[in-house]
Every structure is written in structure tokens, then in C-alpha cells.
Amino acid sequence: MRLGPDGRRRMTLIGTFAAAVILAIMPFPTWAEPFRPDWIGLVLIYWCLAIPERVSVGTGWLLGFIQDILYGSLLGSNALAKTLVAFLAVRLHLQLRMFPRWQQAVSVLGLLVANQLLVLWIRGAIGQAPETISYWTPSIVGALLWPWLFVILRDLRRRGGIA
């Protein structure tokens, strides 16, 4: 299949988001479940930092909405959280781009925690808050993975011809 530069760009974006969605619902053994990072959130943050003029709150909302459907969670809860994450990432993208990699990871941790906190509040409001401290591990795992994920996605972005 031959694609123009525009098509390649589009495929790269959709491809990475699709991979994140699949990874988010891929079956995991129960003991490993708390260690699954928020793939959708991570990929969303990356693209918001890289091309904020194309990927921002709208994409965030759409991804969160897809997540809500696939997770069977309260419709709109993840959509709201992802919208906020995208907004913050776009707002801070100039600073975050300048940060050394580890400092960037710390900021990403902040964004992921904000995302989880918002979801926790919503779930608490409807009486379904989980009572375990391991609720926060996905954010920590996500932040630890960030430096590697960043390199992989940057590579894909360059190969896809996205400036």
C-alpha cells in the first residue's frame, strides 16, 4: 500500500493511538493488573507535547470516550480526565519539551496522577472508589516507562514524517 506524506502522518497517529487502546484492554493476569500503565494517557501526552496544534483537548476527549466504552465505566468519566490531561500537556508543552528526560518523567507523573485523581473522585461520587493503595501504581509505572516510550514514539514520529 502506497501512501502520500499526509496518509503516512495520519497512519502514524492512528496507529499509535490504536496500539495504546489495544494495550489498555489486553488481558493481564490479576496479580499484574496494578502494574499496567495508562497507555492511552501516555501516548496522548506524547502527541500533545510533540504536535499540540493537531493533538489536543478534542483528541483527548475522543480517546477518553473510547476508553469509557471499552471499560464499561461511567460514560464521560475518562473522557473528562483525558480532556484535562490534554489541556495541561498542551499548556505546558513548551516547558516540558525543554526539560531533561528525568524531569519530564516527573512532570508526566504529575499529569497521570491528576488523571487518576479525577477518575477516583468521580468513582467516589458514585460510590465505587477502590479501597486499595495500589490504585496509584499505574501512574508510577507510567512515569518510569516514559523515557523509553518517548524515544520509541519520537522515532515513529520522525519515520512518519510528522514535523
Partner 1 sequence: MINVFGRSIGAPSHLTRLVLLSALSVALMMLDHRGHHLEKIRAGLNVLAYPIQIIASAPAYIGRGIADFFTTRGTLREDNEKLLAERQSLLARLQQFEPLEQENRRLRQMLVSAALVADKAIAAELVEVSSEPFTRKVVVAKGSQDGVYVGQSVIDAHGVMGQVTQVAGHVSRVTLITDAGHAIPVLNNRSGLRALVFGTGNPDTVKVPYLTANADIKEGDLLVSSGMGGTFPPGYPVARVVKIVNDPNEAFLAITAKPAAQLNHGKQVLLIWRGNVPQSGGKSK
> Where do contacts with partner 1 occur on this chain (CB under 8 A)?
6, 9-10, 13, 21-22, 24-28, 30, 33-34, 36, 38, 53-59, 61, 64, 69-80, 83-84, 87, 90-91, 122-123, 126-132, 134-135, 138
Please identify, using beta-carbon distances, which residue of 65 and 99 lies nearer to partner 1: 65
The DSSP output letter for 26 is S
Cβ closest to partner 1, residue 71 vs residue 102: 71
85 near 126, Cβ under 8 Å? no
For residue 154, the minimal CB distance to partner 1 (Å) is: 19
Q: At closest approach, how far in Å is the CB of 101 from partner 1?
A: 26
Task: Describe the crossing of helices 5-25 and 57-71 by its angle, rounded to 10 degrees.
Answer: 40
Chain-centre distance for alpha carbon 149:
11
Closest approach, Cβ 71 to partner 1, in A, equals 4
Under 8 Å between Cβ of 46 and 150: yes
Nearer residue to partner 1 within complex by CB, 70 or 114: 70
C-alpha span between 24 and 43 (Å, rounded): 11
d(CA 15, CA 155): 14
Closer to partner 1 at the Cβ: 44 or 149?
44
Task: Pick the closer one to partner 1 by CB: 103 or 134.
Answer: 134
Least distance (Å) between residue 5 CB and partner 1 = 10
Q: Report residue 70: phi and psi, to 5°.
A: -70, -35
Integer Cα distance of 91 and 71 in angstroms: 28
Could you tell me if 129 and 88 are in contact, meaning their C-beta atoms sit under 8 angstroms apart? no
Question: Whole-number minimum distance, CB 88 to partner 1, in Å?
Answer: 9
